[in-house]
């Protein structure tokens, strides 16, 4: 009997998370072995609430698949729900299995980052242990690029392209003014600095800036930072600094906590909510050097700027959706789709399947070889890694001067059982 598929999305948004979704749906629709392609709204949390739509019916043409592919941020909605351990809450696992069985789902695809891969791994193992033939495949995404094992993760390339492009534009902006200025740019990245590293790309392609760059892989030393800025101000009219939101002092305190530690918030995974690092450092420079200071906090803009997508990233994300479906149809489970870089020139990759457990909850960081001795700049190795991932751009179709993004009906639920 033909089995159905269920796909859902989880974690934070990226520009290409729907490209992977489109890839999954496209491959399922084109396969004779898959019946209905269900979409779970708001991740596992929504699936538990029976918020499941007939996604295949809503994107039934190549044109709609393409529109979905170029639409940023989870079209199915997301969740930050952390699946409990089976030992603690076996009923949750049973409930999910019952829902999937009721819908005759044989293929389950979960698109997300670290925490989502953890969910996919737990479910896949549970299904296997219980003798169910439901196959669970993880489809990676994250702008942080901090997933272990894989060379890079869909979503990173587009975020990196936006950051590199925008920083290059901002360099022109700050230079058009005649004032002595310190500009500090703040980029996402709690523990891994891959995305902030993209800010250095103008410097690797012929510009002199950004002059300084600080990633959370190293301890931040305020005295050295101020020394470096002071030295640069002797010769440069504008000093441009890029920092990760997650940079911290040697004692582990975040740099932004210098401002007002009482304002710190924590998300549902216990991660501290960070912000204000750039404005804090700018303020420190202002007080110390008496120059004009500016800061830019990219915030949500860096994870949804579809209008500045990377073609390489979009195409890979879509392809990875196809690879995930192929794997499930071939009987694989508890796997995620891994990218291996074969060559930089010409840029080529291979896809393979790796145990989801190897990536779930494991975090990758930028290697030591990416940093100069002073830890205030990057080496050519970083550029060699990043530049191939930000090549090309797929222009968005326009309607009324705005991008023509897809609008799914997320309330037309199917009946479960």
- 72 touches a copy of itself by CB under 8 A: yes
| Active-site position among 118, 144, 146, 315 | 144
**Angle of helix 62-69 relative to helix 17-30, nearest 10 degrees?**
160
Cα angle 29, 33, 37 (rounded to 5 degrees) comes to: 40
With binding defined as CB under 8 A, does residue 304 bind a copy of itself?
Answer: yes
411 lies in the binding site for a copy of itself (CB under 8 A): no
Position 166 contacts a copy of itself (CB under 8 A): yes
For residue 247, which of 283, 285, 274 has the smallest C-alpha distance?
Answer: 274
- Catalytic residue at 144? yes
How many residues make up the chain in this entry?
A: 417
Which residue stretch of 94-102, 222-230, 334-342, 396-404 sits at the interface with a copy of itself (rule: CB under 8 A)?
A: 396-404
The minimum distance between CB 8 and a copy of itself, in angstroms, equals 12
387 near a copy of itself, judged by CB under 8 A: yes
CA–CA separation, 124 and 259 (whole Å): 44
- Binding of a copy of itself by 82 (CB under 8 A): no
Residue number, 168 or 289, with CB nearest to a copy of itself: 168
74 binds a copy of itself (CB under 8 A): yes
Q: How close are the terminal C-alpha atoms of the chain, in Å?
A: 17
Based on the shown chain and the rule CB under 8 A, indicate whether residue 174 belongs to the binding site for a copy of itself. Answer: yes
Residue 155 engages a copy of itself in binding (rule: CB under 8 A): no
Q: Does 176 bind a copy of itself (CB under 8 A)?
A: yes
Query: From the DSSP assignment, how many helices (H) and strands (E) are in the chain?
Result: 14, 15
Selected binder of a copy of itself within 184, 255, 308, 329 (CB under 8 A)? 308
Q: Which is nearer to a copy of itself, 248 or 294 (CB)?
A: 294
Q: Residues with Cβ < 8 Å from 175, sequence gap 6 or more?
A: 237, 238
35 binds a copy of itself (CB under 8 A): no
Are the beta carbons of 25 and 6 closer than 8 angstroms?
Answer: no
Q: 268 — phi, psi (to 5°)?
A: -70, -10
Q: Which of residues 350-379 bind a copy of itself (CB under 8 A)?
A: none
Residue 213: half-sphere exposure toward Cβ, Cα within 13 Å? 28
Residue 266 CB, shortest distance to a copy of itself, in Å, is 12
Q: Kindly tell me the burial class for residue 274, based on how many C-beta atoms sit within 10 Å of its own C-beta (0-12, 13-18, 19 or more).
A: buried
Alpha-carbon distance of 350 to 329, in angstroms, equals 19
Distances in whole angstroms, Cα of residue 360 to Cα of each of 122, 251, 343: 9, 27, 26
Interaction residues for a copy of itself, span 246-285 (CB under 8 A): none
Q: Does residue 294 interact with a copy of itself by CB under 8 A?
A: yes
Longest Cα–Cα distance in the chain: 74
With CB under 8 A as the contact rule, the residue among 208, 300, 342, 368 that binds a copy of itself is: 300
The residues carrying an active-site annotation are 144
Residues found near a copy of itself in the complex (CB under 8 A): 9, 13, 42, 45-46, 71-74, 77-80, 161, 164-166, 168-170, 172-178, 201-202, 205-206, 294, 296-297, 299-301, 303-308, 310, 387, 390-393, 395, 398-403, 405, 407
């Amino acid at each position: 009997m033909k089995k159905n598929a269920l796909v859902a999305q989880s974690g934070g948004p990226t520009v290409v998370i729907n490209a992977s979704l489109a890839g999954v749906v496209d491959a399922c629709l084109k396969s004779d072995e898959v019946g209905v392609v269900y979409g779970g709204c708001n991740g596992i949390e929504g699936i538990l609430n029976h918020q499941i739509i007939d996604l295949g019916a809503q994107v039934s043409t190549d044109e709609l698949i393409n529109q979905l592919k170029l639409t940023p941020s989870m079209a199915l909605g997301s969740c930050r729900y952390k699946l409990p351990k089976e030992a603690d809450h076996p009923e949750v696992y049973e409930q999910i299995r019952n829902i999937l069985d009721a819908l005759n789902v044989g293929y389950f695809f979960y698109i997300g980052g670290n925490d989502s891969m953890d969910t996919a791994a737990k479910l896949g193992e549970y299904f296997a242990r219980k003798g169910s033939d439901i196959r669970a495949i993880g489809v990676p995404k994250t702008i942080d690029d901090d997933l272990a094992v894989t060379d890079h993760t869909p979503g990173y390339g587009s975020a990196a392209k936006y950051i590199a492009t925008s920083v290059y534009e901002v360099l022109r902006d700050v230079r058009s003014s005649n004032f002595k200025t310190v500009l500090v740019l703040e980029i996402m990245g709690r523990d891994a600095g891959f995305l902030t590293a993209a800010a250095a790309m103008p410097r690797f392609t012929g510009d002199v800036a950004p002059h300084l760059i600080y990633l959370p892989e190293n301890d931040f030393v305020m005295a050295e930072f101020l020394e470096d800025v002071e030295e640069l101000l002797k010769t440069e009219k504008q000093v441009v600094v890029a920092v990760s939101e997650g940079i911290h002092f040697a004692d582990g305190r975040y740099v932004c906590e210098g401002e007002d530690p009482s304002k710190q918030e924590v998300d549902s995974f216990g991660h501290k909510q960070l912000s204000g690092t750039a404005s804090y450092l700018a303020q420190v420079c202002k007080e110390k050097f008496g120059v004009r200071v500016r800061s830019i906090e990219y915030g949500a803009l860096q994870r949804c700027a579809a209008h500045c997508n990377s073609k390489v990233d979009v195409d890979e994300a879509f392809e990875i959706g196809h690879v995930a479906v192929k794997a499930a149809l071939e009987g694989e489970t508890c796997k995620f789709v891994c990218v291996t870089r074969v060559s930089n020139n010409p840029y080529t990759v291979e896809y393979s399947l790796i145990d989801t457990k190897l990536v779930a909850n494991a975090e990758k960081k930028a290697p030591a070889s990416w940093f100069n001795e002073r830890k205030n700049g990057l080496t050519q190795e970083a550029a060699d890694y990043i530049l191939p991932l930000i090549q090309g751009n797929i222009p968005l179709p326009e309607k009324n001067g705005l991008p023509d993004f897809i609008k799914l009906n997320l309330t037309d639920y199917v009946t479960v059982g």
